Structure 1
Amino acid sequence: MLIQHFQMLANYNTITNRKVYEVCSQLSDVERKQIRQAFFKSIHGTLNHIMVGDRIWMGRFEGKQMPSTNLDAILYEDFDELRSVRVLEDERIEAFMSKLNEDFLTKTISYVNNQGKLHTDPPNLLLAHFFNHQTHHRGQIHDMLSQTEIAPPVLDMHRVIRP
């Protein structure tokens, strides 16, 4: 049941990212990069941060040592390139979750956080954090979009994934 839940969250993540990027594509580059009252300074900065976080956590889930560094990095200045790699990253996430099994969930994952401290946590906690992190920052983007002339998309899970 937990595996199906994470697979549902992966699907929700893909759909909502498409919705967010579609709306963001209607903004000018200047407006996407406009400094706003937000932790990662702009819509573009926050989209990049979500990508940074996703890559760190996916690397950890895949057994790689991924330090929590450069969380505010701008990986892609070009929005179209960022959008293209977002699609690929979402495909990676969905493929990983489609192969999720009980064996993975019974192990632990060790990682170094951004203060340099080693943590060891159960995968179900980290997977929940992974999806919650994305939702949290998409919410910030939603708020920043509401400050533009472009209406933010509906992101409510029950509305997005309803058949």
Structure 2
Amino acid sequence: MLTKHFQLLAKYNTLANRKLYEACAQLSDDERKQIRPAFFKSIHGTLNHIMVGDRIWLGRFEGKSMSSTNLDAILFENFDELWQVRQAEDQRIENFAASLTEEFLSSTIEYTNNSGRVCNDPVDLLVAHFFNHQTHHRGQIHDMISQTEIAPPSLDMHRVIRP
């Protein structure tokens, strides 16, 4: 059942974010904000981008009209505040996944993408993208952490989910 799969991804998301933020907390603020060869310029910028993306997609899933602009917005300058909000957002994601129905997953959502194009896409594809987007950018942060003195955490799903 697809709903169970997405609930597993939500649980993984929470646990992987916790491991990633624990590693990032070992870095100085300067190291987290250091400009690096990354699309969102820094660890801190990429952590904020994941939050921006999560809020856009969750809003769309809730039926709100959500713009894709300002994808590089820094929502939270303070890392501790960002981490607190991340934990609340992860709970929101788990609640969203727990409420998924096959009926909703078999529907479509109309939205305007970052290029201004109106899209009408299947919800099951968009929910898969939602989780894939987070994993993709966590991988970028993992790479940036490896450029520091801190060892990046293992984020392999089977290792993170394992009790």
TM-score, normalised to structure 1's length?
A: 0.99
1:79-158 maps to which residues of 2 (within 5 A)?
79-158=79-158
Number of matched pairs? 163
Rounded Cα–Cα distance in structure 2 between residues aligned with 1:47 and 1:141: 8
**Residue of structure 2 in register with 1:71 after alignment:** 71
**Residue of structure 2 in register with 1:58 after alignment:** 58
Task: State the one-letter code of the partner of 1:79.
Answer: F
- Residue 64 of structure 1, CA deviation: 0.5
- Residue 67 of structure 1, CA deviation: 1.0
- Residue 44 of structure 1, CA deviation: 0.1
Rounded Cα–Cα distance in structure 2 between residues aligned with 1:28 and 1:106: 45
After TM superposition, the structure 1 stretch with the greater mean CA deviation from structure 2, 36-45 or 102-111, is 102-111
Rounded Cα–Cα distance in structure 1 between residues aligned with 2:46 and 2:24: 12
**Residue of structure 1 in register with 2:10 after alignment:** 10
SS of corresponding position for 2:119: strand
Task: State the one-letter code of the partner of 2:25.
Answer: S
- Residue 126 of structure 1, CA deviation: 0.2
Moved over 3 A (4+): none
SS of corresponding position for 2:110: strand
Rounded Cα–Cα distance in structure 1 between residues aligned with 2:131 and 2:42: 21
Q: Deviations over 1:52-104 (max 9, x none)?
A: 00000000011101010100000000000000000000000000100111121
Task: State the one-letter code of the partner of 2:133.
Answer: H
- Residue 141 of structure 1, CA deviation: 0.1
Rounded Cα–Cα distance in structure 2 between residues aligned with 1:15 and 1:62: 24
Conserved 8 A contact 2:110-2:121 = yes
**Residue of structure 2 in register with 1:48 after alignment:** 48
RMSD of equivalent CA atoms:
0.5
Rounded Cα–Cα distance in structure 1 between residues aligned with 2:28 and 2:105: 43
SS of corresponding position for 2:120: strand
- Residue 105 of structure 1, CA deviation: 1.1
Rounded Cα–Cα distance in structure 2 between residues aligned with 1:102 and 1:124: 9
Rounded Cα–Cα distance in structure 1 between residues aligned with 2:123 and 2:160: 26
